[in-house]
Homo-oligomer: A and B are copies of this chain.
Amino acid sequence: MKFDVKRRTDPERAQNRRNQVLQAAAVCFARSGFHGASMSEISKEAGMSAGHIYNYFENKEAIIMAFVDLEVEHVTGQLRELEGKDDPLQSMIDDAPKHVDENLEPEYFQLPLEMFAEAARNPKIAEALRIGDQAAMDRFRPIVKRERERRGLPVDDELLDGRIDTVVSLFHGLPIRSLHRPQVNRNSLVEGYRVALKALLLT
């Protein structure tokens, strides 16, 4: 049916193609590292010509920037969900098993580790991480402040930021912990996280 044939300009098709490239790139970065993976390796993995890939991503850096954007979207989604809870801080503590589990999955952390290693040497990528983090802090801080106020706990800015930065470090460190200790006892770890989160958020 001729009228159903869609061209490259179709936004949905373009989005699918972009995702196809990102999935292939994730596989190649995991296998060969960001610097070791070539655009031709990625195009082969995606089953597309290299020329075609350049329609969606100017270069490898643009691909890793797209992963940064996805990570920022993921965090924004989690914070939006948190905002909708009746008791957001208690929910974070209750949901520790979910957050621990998602950070213990090797297929989840391989790409972020690659992204962080690259950000440590590429100022453009580091800048994108920072902007995303700033937006997340601006969303998370008022939730923590409001909930602590409601409980009569101290809410000065420095204290709040120190507590939040420590909570975030805790989650950032989990994939690296799991890399060092894949046999980690998940239930004990969840209990440890609950103890730390409770002390940081509710005292």
Name A residues whose Cβ lies closer than 8 Å to a Cβ of B. Answer: 30-37, 106, 109-110, 113-114, 116-121, 126, 129-130, 132-134, 137, 158-159, 161-174, 176-177, 179-182, 184-185, 187-193, 195-196, 198-200, 203
Decide: A120 and B170 in contact? CB cutoff 8 A.
no
How would you classify the secondary structure of chain A's contact residues: helix, strand, loop or mixed? helix
* Known A-B contacts A166-B192, A187-B158, A192-B200; A179 and B116 likewise in contact (beta carbons under 8 Å): yes
User: Given the complex, which residues of B lie within 8 Å of A179, measured CB to CB?
Assistant: 116, 119-120, 126, 129
CA–CA, A113 to B118, complex, Å? 9
14 extra A-B contacts, CB within 8 A, seeds A109-B120, A113-B120: A32-B35, A34-B35, A116-B176, A126-B179, A130-B181, A161-B184, A161-B188, A162-B190, A165-B181, A165-B184, A166-B193, A168-B180, A169-B173, A176-B176
User: Given the complex, which residues of B lie within 8 Å of A200, measured CB to CB?
Assistant: 192, 195-196, 199
CA–CA, A180 to B167, complex, Å? 14
Decide: A33 and B165 in contact? CB cutoff 8 A.
no
CA–CA, A35 to B28, complex, Å? 12
User: Given the complex, which residues of B lie within 8 Å of A190, measured CB to CB?
Assistant: 162
Q: Which 3 A-B pairs have the closest CB atoms?
A: A173-B173, A35-B36, A162-B188
A-B pairs with beta carbons under 8 Å apart, 26 shown = A113-B113, A113-B117, A116-B117, A116-B176, A116-B179, A117-B117, A130-B181, A133-B181, A158-B187, A158-B188, A159-B188, A161-B188, A162-B185, A162-B187, A163-B192, A166-B170, A169-B170, A170-B173, A170-B196, A172-B174, A173-B176, A192-B200, A195-B200, A198-B199, A199-B200, A199-B203
